[in-house]
Structure 1
């Protein structure tokens, strides 16, 4: 069922969730897997992405074989602590506190617990939701769309005062990025995988689902960040991830 959603309050704080580490075979790049929590001054809790499926914390080797993920890379560290529930707990939150879930896109490291929040509406791009199944990784996957109310994004939108959702296809057909205004930090641009790391701009987004679109939206996001003097948090930056403030700490 498609619905419309809007936040009542303004963002008051943002937390980065640690969903584990992955090594990409092509370049041996070690990347962090991140999610985000944004809380508003109206007691709303927004969760962006849920990391790898729980089976990777139980037996990463077996899960990798099942999903044929080994052709992309290998899981270095995904434990039960890197699941959405325990990461929320670091912030003093339970799954039941989440009032809105957002899927930035539907690759395997972002949708693992998408079905784990029954009754919570899911905001997602219309292009991704129109797919028969989430993108996941290989054709062997069996993940289906969870039963939920879906709010569909087909253009840039204001989710609420100080919370912009930006449609940036390129990495994936319906990739989303986010611009959040915080009381003290100011503007924060969450690129998600629209720009996985700063160097991807110079590398011209090689290997993207749609390279020209990825270049276009990467350029516009960096222009927006410059105009707003925004803190940029990249989707999978080997350089930024080790030093990035993470739960239980907040950006305010």
Structure 2
């Protein structure tokens, strides 16, 4: 890892942010779009991912046409309430409270507000940051890299006591996943899109950027979760999302 950094404290609680609902055309699957906030006992607040761009809350149809996203799927519900600032407000937080931002990868539903926390360093895989632009989407629009202090991940590493970062390319060139040890909940694996849903394992990660890598890292993450007896929060699970505890509630 370049520009080495560590959290000073241990995680004390984690919240799931609700960035809206999306339907995938190929199979009709309805998926939740999520982000995460992790707070430590040293008053650090980490934000993982930032959802769709603001324009989707203003006019989802126009934004979909502009990005040519309709070939993949459609936004079912992305409202002002699903924007990062509104989700943070449910937790009594503001954007200025974020001390570190993490991009799990740079697809459109994760990267929409990467520019909105200029005071906070951005932790991201070196493979993603080396791209000319964030992955975003393959349509007409392109997103530029915002000015920021980038912390580049080149391998698995320990961000702080009780906070592991795993480099899991497959879904995307620099996909990241995370293990957070919480005082009461215990080990909690955030797979992000390294495993979007449990059934993706049986489906052999069809459609991934690199299928063999996705299969390898999917198996690796599930082995880690099994060994640690961890709770697993998948990236886009239709089965898990409706009942998953979300902000303003915390996992502690």
Give TM-score scaled by structure 1 length: 0.99
State the distance in 1 between where 2:5 and 2:139 align. Answer: 32
Equivalence map 1:210-221=2 (5 Å): 210-221=210-221
Alpha-carbon distance between aligned partners in 2 of 1:249 and 1:216, rounded to the nearest angstrom: 33
Alpha-carbon displacement from aligned partner over 1:151-190 (angstroms, at most 9, x marks no partner): 0000000000000000000000000000000000000000
Partner of 2:134: 134
Contact 2:96 2:119 in 1 (8 A): no
Q: Gaps (5+ residues) in structure 2? A: none
Q: Deviations over 1:125-155 (max 9, x none)?
A: 0000000000001242221000000000000
Shift of 1:119: 1.6
Unmatched runs of 5 consecutive residues or more in structure 1? none
Confirm or deny: 8 A CA contact 1:3 1:149 kept in the other structure: no
1:94-152 deviation per Cα after TM superposition (whole angstroms, max 9, x unaligned): 00000000000000000000000112100000000000000001242221000000000
Equivalent in the alignment of 2:64: 64
Please give the per-residue CA displacement for 1:26-85, whole angstroms capped at 9, x wherever unaligned. 000000000000000000000000000000000000000000000000000000000000
Shift of 1:233: 0.1
Instruction: Tell me the residue number matched to 1:27.
Output: 27
Q: Secondary structure at the match of 2:133?
A: coil
Matched, 1:39 2:42: no
1:53 aligns with 2:53: yes
1:230 maps onto 2:230 in alignment:
yes
Query: C-alpha separation between the residues in 2 aligned to 1:139 and 1:83?
Result: 22
Distance 1:118 1:198 in 2: 35
SS in 1 for 2:116: coil
Which runs of at least 4 in structure 1 moved beyond 2 Å after TM superposition?
none
1:194 match: secondary structure: helix
The alignment's TM-score, normalised by the length of structure 2, stands at 0.99
Q: How does 1:2-17 map to 2 (within 5 A)?
A: 3-17=3-17
Pairwise CA distance, 1:3: 2.8
Cα RMSD after superposing both structures: 0.7
| Aligned twin of 1:143 | 143
